[in-house]
Structure 1
Amino acid sequence: MTDMEQFLSGAVAMGFAVAGLLFLSYWRRLRQRLFLTFALSFFLLAVNYTWLAVTLIPVEERSPLFLIRLLAFAMIIVAIVQSNRPSSTR
């Protein structure tokens, strides 16, 4: 991995961390589980790209990183589906 790729991975990780902080502030204000799940997912993605930038893992051995991304995106999908389901208590 070149220095530029490491720099860009760090920038992407910082962007995910900022998005996570933004959703965390929304959750603190509104207390909706959707925002907390989004914040946790974006923090997972930030950890993923930080791990990628710091460890210099070859392309062939990045499978665990894809599992972390899969978990983050699955959490987002489940949170969206749950927030759009009709409430049973009215």
Structure 2
Amino acid sequence: MTAAAASLLMGAVAMASFVAMLFFLRHWQQTRETFFLLFAIAFGVDAASRAVLGLWDLAEDTEPLVYLARLVTFSLIILAIVQKNRANR
């Protein structure tokens, strides 16, 4: 895969994450549930990290930062799910 194609695909994934963030923000505004807010933040972090990856050719030295952003994203999603399940008990 060429660098241009990889950047294009990364931009598409960033856009999809941004749209998901807007979707969850809209539901959070309607319900004010923390679940939707945490999901919106998680997809916002994912969209930002993927946009950075698509725009700049990052060296291998910054690869841990990419995984740190993904760790934050998935941790927020897990936190939202755990918090929602504890509220239902």
Q: TM-score, normalised by structure 1?
A: 0.90
Q: 2:46 is aligned with what amino acid?
A: L
- Give 1:86 shift: 3.9
More helix by share: 2
Question: Following the alignment from structure 1 to structure 2, what is the Cα–Cα distance between the partners of residues 65 and 47?
Answer: 11
2:25 is aligned to 24
Q: 2:76 is aligned with what amino acid?
A: M
Number of residue pairs the alignment of both structures matches: 88
2:42 is aligned to 41
Q: Secondary structure at the match of 1:57?
A: coil
Structure 1: stretches of 5+ with no match in the other structure: none
Question: Following the alignment from structure 1 to structure 2, what is the Cα–Cα distance between the partners of residues 51 and 21?
Answer: 19
1:6 is aligned to 7
Question: Following the alignment from structure 1 to structure 2, what is the Cα–Cα distance between the partners of residues 12 and 6?
Answer: 10
Root-mean-square deviation over aligned CA pairs: 1.6
1:70 is aligned to 71
Question: Following the alignment from structure 1 to structure 2, what is the Cα–Cα distance between the partners of residues 80 and 24?
Answer: 16
Question: Following the alignment from structure 1 to structure 2, what is the Cα–Cα distance between the partners of residues 18 and 85?
Answer: 28
Q: Which runs of 4+ in 1 moved over 6 A?
A: none
Question: Following the alignment from structure 2 to structure 1, what is the Cα–Cα distance between the partners of residues 5 and 88?
Answer: 48
Structure 2: stretches of 5+ with no match in the other structure: none
Question: Following the alignment from structure 1 to structure 2, what is the Cα–Cα distance between the partners of residues 3 and 59?
Answer: 18
Q: 1:66 is aligned with what amino acid?
A: Y
Q: What percent identity do the matched residue pairs reach? A: 36
Question: Following the alignment from structure 1 to structure 2, what is the Cα–Cα distance between the partners of residues 60 and 15?
Answer: 27
Q: TM-score, normalised by structure 2?
A: 0.91
Matched, 1:80 2:63: no
